Amino acid sequence: MKKKVTIRDVARQAGVSVTTVSQILNGKGQRFSKRTREHVLELRDKLNYVPDFNARNLILHSSQTIGVLVPSMSNSFFSSFIQGVQDKCRTREIMPLVFGANHDEKLERYYLTQLVARSVDGLIIASSTITTKTIDEILRPAHLPYVLFDQNGSRGGDRLEVDDYQGGRLAALHLASLGHRHVVMVMPNDATTNVHQRLAGFVSGLEEHHISFVPDRDVVSAKLTKRGGYEATKAVLERQPTAVFAANDEIAIGLMRGFKEQGVKVPDDISVMGYDGIDFDEYVTPALTTVQQPTHQIGAAAVQMLFKRIDNSAIELQRVFLPVQLISRQSTAKLK
């Protein structure tokens, strides 16, 4: 096996010290001549030198990595969220380590413990099941910076929130403007804080139009998945609504398949709208009306907040609040 090229090999061929090579490769070689800098960089490329990050991190006192915990890797919302994280991390050559544990609290606790043991520089927690107790027991003793996404109800820490109350209200106003007065909402029994905010905003928007909505009667339970929506089809149809608001797009897409199998046409027989604004919305038939979250921006903003905390642990607690917008497509229509 060919021996790996080391920084000492580069220094020896360049005729300079290891320290000189290290400073030039780390962007701190301004005090050296242009000729020396160019020579070192040319040798790096010629020899295919790849830095030893373990050695580099010992010098920089940084792992150059952050941990990202999400509830599901299969949900398209988090795919876009992770893309935003990755794009922002590249600006500082930080490597994000992304884990999804499917709402398994024990597995998420294991990931947290392992990330702390590997000395990541910080954490972004988009998972809803990580508790204040877990944070107190694992993160705070390690003095590890972290940012919480709004579906996590834990207290304290920097937090990024989306205006879910307004999102629910926008959904209600849209359906009311189309003449719908008998509507249902589909959401989980064990809904997270942000989904409850969507429900509260939805109820408020309906009340503005004097439309009766009683959660015990008009909320149908389902998991936040396409399968969850599909399996809720019968319960929704039993209530005979003219429109349905799903707590996320995955539920809405599952409902639309279920309605098609039951011979119920969208939007002729029932209007359907979702929440999140995932890519699939434009490719289902009919295209899905939704309340769009700025998912890529959420990921990038979470990383930016974490960088600020890493750079200065003494700054005040950060709160970033992002807006949502209604995207009207063909799955909703005026009541006939």
Tokens encoding 76: 């398209």
Q: Are residues 91 and 137 in the same domain?
A: yes
Write the CATH number for 177: 3.40.50.2300
The two tokens of residue 333 are: 């229509």
Q: 3-class SS at 123?
A: strand
The Cα–Cα gap between 57 and 64 comes to 7
Q: Is residue 336 part of a domain?
A: no
- Do 70 and 217 sit in the same domain of this protein? no
Say if strands 65-70 and 95-100 run parallel, antiparallel, or are unpaired.
Answer: parallel
Determine the pLDDT at residue 57. 55
Contact 190, 151 (CB under 8 A): no
Task: Give the CATH number for residue 25.
Answer: 1.10.260.40
Distance between CA atoms of 270 and 309, rounded to whole angstroms? Answer: 47
Token pair of 205 as six digits = 């928007």
What single string gives the DSSP state of each residue in 216-261? HHHEEE--SSHHHHHHTHHHHHHT--SEEEESSHHHHHHHHHHHHH
Nearest to 127 by CA among 156, 151, 161: 151
Instruction: Please report, in angstroms and rounded to a whole number, the separation of the first and last CA atoms in the chain.
Output: 74
Distance, CA of 14 to CA of 37 (rounded, Å): 10
Tokens of 110: 């294991």
Quick one: 105 and 84 in the same domain?
yes
In a domain? residue 331: no
Beta-strand ranges (E) seen in 2-152 are 65-70, 95-100, 123-125, 146-149
Q: How high is the pLDDT of residue 53?
A: 58
In a domain, 138, yes or no: yes
Does 181 share its domain with 222?
Answer: yes
Following CA atoms 250, 251, 253, 257 in sequence, which dihedral angle do they give, to the nearest 10 degrees?
140
Question: For residue 284, is it within any domain?
Answer: yes
Could you give the count of Cα atoms lying within 13 Å of 189 in the half-sphere of its Cβ?
2
From residue 93, alpha-carbon distances to 26, 49, 219 in Å are 11, 17, 46
Domain termination site, one of 16, 38, 59: 59
- Measured CA angle at 317 (ends 120, 91), to 5 deg: 45
Domain shared by 203 and 280, yes or no: yes
Element (H, E) at 292: strand 289-292
Question: What residue has token string 């750079």?
Answer: 311
Distance CA 319, CA 197 (A): 17
Q: Whole-angstrom Cα distance, residue 185 to residue 205? A: 13
| Domain assignment present for 2 | no
CA-wise closest residue to 32 among 45, 15, 55: 15
Both 173 and 190 in one domain: the answer is yes
Same domain, 32 and 133: no
Q: Do residues 134 and 207 share a domain?
A: no
Run means of pLDDT, 10 residues per run, the chain, 336 residues: 77 89 80 90 85 56 80 84 94 89 80 85 82 76 84 72 96 98 96 93 97 96 96 97 98 98 97 96 97 95 95 91 97 95
Q: Are residues 34 and 103 in the same domain?
A: no
Instruction: Give the pLDDT score at 155.
Output: 63
* Helix (H) or strand (E) segment spanning residue 290: strand 289-292
What's residue 62's pLDDT? 58
Q: What's the domain range around 43? A: 7-59
pLDDT on residue 291: 98
One domain for residues 80 and 53: no
pLDDT of residue 54: 54
d(CA 83, CA 71): 16
134 inside domain = yes
φ and ψ at residue 230, rounded to 5 degrees: -60, -45
Q: Alpha-carbon distance 91 to 62, whole Å?
A: 16
How many other C-beta atoms can be found within 10 angstroms of the C-beta atom of residue 231? Answer: 17
**3-class DSSP state of 77:** helix
Residue pLDDT, tens place only, 284-296: 999 999 999 999 9
Domain count, the chain: 3
Residue 196 and residue 211 in one domain: yes
Is residue 332 situated within a structural domain?
no
Residue from 305, 309, 317, 273 nearest 292 by CA: 273
Same domain, 241 and 149: no
Domain contains 124? yes
- Angle between helix 34-47 and 18-25 (nearest 10): 90
Q: CB neighbours (10 Å) of residue 56?
A: 16
